[in-house]
Amino acid sequence: FDPGKYLPEIKRYWANHGGDALYGLLTRCFVLVNSTQSRIKIVDTLVNLLRILIEGDPASLLPAVWLATNSISPPYISLELGLGGSAISKALKKICGLDNSGLKALYDKHGDAGDVAFEAKKRQSFTLRKPKPLSIQGVFQSLVKVANSKGTGSQDFKQRIVERLLQDAQGAEESRYLVRTLCQHLRIGAVKTTMLIALSRAFLLSRPPNASFPITLQSDLIKLKKESLAETYSRGEELVKACFARRPNYSDLVPSLLEIGISDELLVRCGLALHIPLRPMLGSITRDLGEMLTKLQGRDFSCEYKYDGQRAQVHCDKNGKVSIFSRHLEVMTDKYPDLVSLVPTIRGESVSSFILDGEIVAIDPVRGDLKAFQTLTNRARKDVDIGSIKVDVCLFAFDLMYLNEEELLNRPFRERRELLRSLFVEVPNQFTWVKNIDATSTDSETVLEFFKSATDIKCEGIMVKVLDNLPRSILSQSSEGEITKEATTKAGKKTKSKSKANEKTGDRDKGTRRKALLATYEPDKRLDSWLKVKKDYNASADTIDLIPVAGWHGQGRKAKWWSPILLAVRNPETGSLEAVTKCISGFTDKFYQANKDKYDESSDNVIDRPSYIEYDGHPDVWFEPQEVWEMAFADITKSPTYLAALGLVDEERGLSMRFPRFLKIREDKSIEEASTSDFLAELWRKQEARAKPGDGIEEGD
């Protein structure tokens, strides 16, 4: 792609419009994205759009990124459009000259409000006034105005904005995507990861006209060897993802990119900040204690109770102002006024500001007994009055990410924990540390005892966290004192090269072949340095959390239901859902009926073939992806039909599973938390390792 060639043609999208890129450009991108199932093409299309804006109209870049990701603010800033479906219907009727029955007929035929707007606009035979072309910035500002309008008269004000937007839409496609945006249901599959990949690539290839930073990949450099190009891309992606994990707000990321491009300085600009949540680190699943001990061989680790409550990221500044955020970055400060008044008092003398991570658990305030998660759900969500609290809680702290204006993410866990426990003050039954023991893989009996004690007091199991950046054997050789990043990297390399040598000589010492597990806090990552072992994991049967995405008409007794049902894993890199299996087992008739009611052909839950699902077959209906099912299975097989995890264990075949069986709906999980293709590939590798005991589980390392 050479923007030099492309720009003149593209310029028609903002000629005669004061330099602002037109909304038509964004719509064109949405149409292209929707017309392909190829993730490579989707990313390329987005990259092209972003490059055009970076080079031609940088001011429209941020609004375009918000619109393409179907949001106008990050989760921690509550900016809701607050538009009911009726506002959109009313506007469509007025602008396109439809009556109630005409509109209903379109809804009955198309289901999706965007498709209805497309048809209505196509049939429009008159205009109330001459439409003024919409610009990307104009549309975004209109949405912000809608979201900010509150109080009396706001509904009329919002209605007028919606009508003006639909009036000015140039043609049917613009109407379709405008309405989808207004319903907050864009359906282009440009999820967070895709956008971050596209942003990083676009900035490796382009820069704004007035910027002085160098373009990393000049066009002649593109002739670079494939591997070095891939390496540059992946470094850029890692950097942009790391920034977004620390500051999950495009309004922070995009202006910095426009100013300095892909540079290490980005991490400083998008560093942690008080009252802005970072994306929390998450735990990797292990099947049982045995697997956990194998994974952490040679390492010192902390086993902690895994409390069954609500994740809380607590920020406190030097003035004692407190913010509390959920795992999904929503503000929960209003829900916990008791903690808000408590938190400033837990600071020891030398603490002024901090960000800590912990779990809020319902508790008996006198005896200190833990209560079930359900008890906590009885708390109101907002505006809780401190005097009327009926469910008492305790905050169990387990990590410290920021202290007195300094980020601690790169410090090893042992050090962060030491700071937390030595500088903060416990308040019985209100603020304390998670219960823990420190151990190594040779302490299996102690760990088992600890695991049992956790489950005895209604904990979900244990979390196991690596304490130091280096294995103890290397630590004892290195000089006393701080472990620097440099030392860590060197040690990582040492371990790797030794590992190669060992493989050659046939020495299968697992400890030396294992990749270095760092003890740093890695926002938004699920790594082996944080493992979870839950009490309900069953050593003999893995389960997987899949998303139902399509169905076929059943046969015989099941003719009135959907059976089989197609299920998919998530590919967080590309944002697509990859079909993995069809399931006909484990469902009750009652479940089948409920499923049919939910995914009735006339409902909004049944959609056109989505571009973001990787599957070549032809189901009778496509489900709107929205739920997660926990599934059991006999084993995982390579498959020419299913494309899940394609390229992860086999270049030409994906993975599927034999005898899949439905276990339950995971009400507690959103589709962003369904199992990934990486997880599926990992299960396959484990299965292969179990089948051939001679090849240790590190074979895939």
Tokens describing residue 242: 């790391």
Number of CB atoms found within 10 A of residue 188's CB? 24
Number of residues that bind ligand ATP (CB under 6 A): 13
Identify which of 221, 120, 225 has the alpha carbon closest to the alpha carbon of residue 173: 120
Instruction: Report the DSSP pairing between strands 461-466 and 543-553.
Output: unpaired
Least distance to ligand ATP from the beta carbon of 426, Å?
16
What 234-241 contacts at long range (C-beta under 8 Å, 24+ apart), as own/partner pairs, is 236/200, 236/201, 236/203, 236/204, 236/262, 237/196, 237/197, 237/200, 237/201, 239/200, 239/264, 239/266, 239/267, 240/196, 240/197, 240/199, 240/200, 240/203, 240/266, 241/193, 241/196, 241/200, 241/524
- Fill in the DSSP letter of residue 221: G
Tokens describing residue 426: 């416990």
Q: Is 90 in the site for ligand ATP (CB under 6 A)?
A: no
- Do 81 and 143 touch, CB atoms closer than 8 A? yes
Q: What is the DSSP string of 491-550?
A: HHHHHHHHHHHHHHHT---HHHHSPPPP-S--TT-EEEEEEEEETT-BTTB-EEEEEEEE
Q: How many Å apart are CA 208 and CA 52, to the nearest integer?
A: 10
Among 163, 252, 300, 304, binds ligand ATP (CB under 6 A): 304
Stretch that binds ligand ATP, among 68-76, 123-131, 157-165, 300-308 (CB under 6 A): 300-308
Least distance to ligand ATP from the beta carbon of 47, Å?
31
Q: Is 62 in the site for ligand ATP (CB under 6 A)?
A: no
Identify which of 681, 679, 601, 17 has the alpha carbon closest to the alpha carbon of residue 284: 679
Dihedral over Cα of 381, 385, 389, 393: its sign: positive
Residue closer to ligand ATP by CB (options 190, 463) is: 463
Q: What is the DSSP string of 40-75?
A: HHHHHHHHHHHHHHHHH-GGGHHHHHHHHTT-SS-T
Dihedral over Cα of 592, 598, 602, 605: its sign: negative
Does residue 645 come out as left (phi exceeding 0), alpha (psi in the -120 to 50 range) or beta? left
Residue closer to ligand ATP by CB (options 17, 327) is: 327
- Fill in the DSSP letter of residue 439: E
Angle between helix 192-205 and 226-246 (nearest 10)? 120
Among 434, 518, 643, 645, binds ligand ATP (CB under 6 A): 434
Residue closer to ligand ATP by CB (options 398, 552) is: 398
Catalytic residue among 121, 192, 295, 306: 306
Least distance to ligand ATP from the beta carbon of 573, Å?
19
C-beta nearest to ligand ATP: residue: 311
Stretch that binds ligand ATP, among 131-139, 299-307, 489-497, 619-627 (CB under 6 A): 299-307
Residue closer to ligand ATP by CB (options 262, 401) is: 401
Q: Is 282 in the site for ligand ATP (CB under 6 A)?
A: yes
Least distance to ligand ATP from the beta carbon of 234, Å?
25
Least distance to ligand ATP from the beta carbon of 396, Å?
7
Residue closer to ligand ATP by CB (options 190, 628) is: 628
Least distance to ligand ATP from the beta carbon of 307, Å?
4
Q: How many Å apart are CA 438 and CA 410, to the nearest integer?
A: 21
Binding pattern for the stretch 360-399 against ligand ATP, x by CB under 6 A and - elsewhere: --------------------------------------x-
- Give the residues across from 324 on adjacent strands: 314
Stretch that binds ligand ATP, among 15-23, 270-278, 303-311, 381-389 (CB under 6 A): 303-311
Tokens describing residue 628: 């997660």
Q: Is 307 in the site for ligand ATP (CB under 6 A)?
A: yes
Residue closer to ligand ATP by CB (options 280, 548) is: 280
Identify which of 577, 41, 43, 525 has the alpha carbon closest to the alpha carbon of residue 244: 525
- Residue 278: what residue type? L
Q: Is 417 in the site for ligand ATP (CB under 6 A)?
A: no
- Do 278 and 355 touch, CB atoms closer than 8 A? yes
Q: Is 570 in the site for ligand ATP (CB under 6 A)?
A: no
Least distance to ligand ATP from the beta carbon of 309, Å?
7
Stretch that binds ligand ATP, among 127-135, 302-310, 379-387, 576-584 (CB under 6 A): 302-310
Q: What is the DSSP string of 687-701?
A: HHHHHSTTS-GGGG-
Least distance to ligand ATP from the beta carbon of 463, Å?
4
Does residue 239 come out as left (phi exceeding 0), alpha (psi in the -120 to 50 range) or beta? alpha
Stretch that binds ligand ATP, among 304-312, 386-394, 447-455, 590-598 (CB under 6 A): 304-312
- Residue 111: what residue type? G
Least distance to ligand ATP from the beta carbon of 284, Å?
8
Q: How many Å apart are CA 267 and CA 174, to the nearest integer?
A: 37
Place of tokens 């496609």: 173
Tokens describing residue 58: 């940088």
- Do 439 and 447 touch, CB atoms closer than 8 A? yes
Q: How many Å apart are CA 459 and CA 577, to the nearest integer?
A: 33
Least distance to ligand ATP from the beta carbon of 432, Å?
12
Stretch that binds ligand ATP, among 234-242, 256-264, 301-309, 402-410 (CB under 6 A): 301-309
- Fill in the DSSP letter of residue 211: -
Residue closer to ligand ATP by CB (options 91, 362) is: 362
Residue closer to ligand ATP by CB (options 282, 527) is: 282
SS (H, E, C) 369-406: CECCHHHHCCCCCCCCCHHHCCCCEEEEEEEEEEECCE
Q: Is 327 in the site for ligand ATP (CB under 6 A)?
A: yes
* 306 catalytically annotated: yes
Least distance to ligand ATP from the beta carbon of 119, Å?
41
Residue closer to ligand ATP by CB (options 307, 451) is: 307
**What is the SS3 assignment for 608?**
coil
What residues contact 255, with CB distance under 8 A and at least 6 apart? 62
Residue closer to ligand ATP by CB (options 370, 643) is: 370
Stretch that binds ligand ATP, among 11-19, 306-314, 468-476, 569-577 (CB under 6 A): 306-314
**What is the SS3 assignment for 665?**
strand
Residue closer to ligand ATP by CB (options 139, 463) is: 463
Residue closer to ligand ATP by CB (options 207, 532) is: 532
Among 121, 207, 347, 532, binds ligand ATP (CB under 6 A): 532
Among 287, 306, 335, 685, binds ligand ATP (CB under 6 A): 306
Tokens describing residue 468: 């130091």
Residue closer to ligand ATP by CB (options 157, 433) is: 433
Least distance to ligand ATP from the beta carbon of 436, Å?
8
Least distance to ligand ATP from the beta carbon of 211, Å?
39
Q: Is 673 in the site for ligand ATP (CB under 6 A)?
A: yes
Q: Is 283 in the site for ligand ATP (CB under 6 A)?
A: yes
Q: How many Å apart are CA 197 and CA 189, to the nearest integer?
A: 14
Which residues contribute to the site for ligand ATP (CB under 6 A)?
282-283, 304, 306-307, 311, 327, 359, 398, 434, 463, 532, 673
Catalytic residues: 306
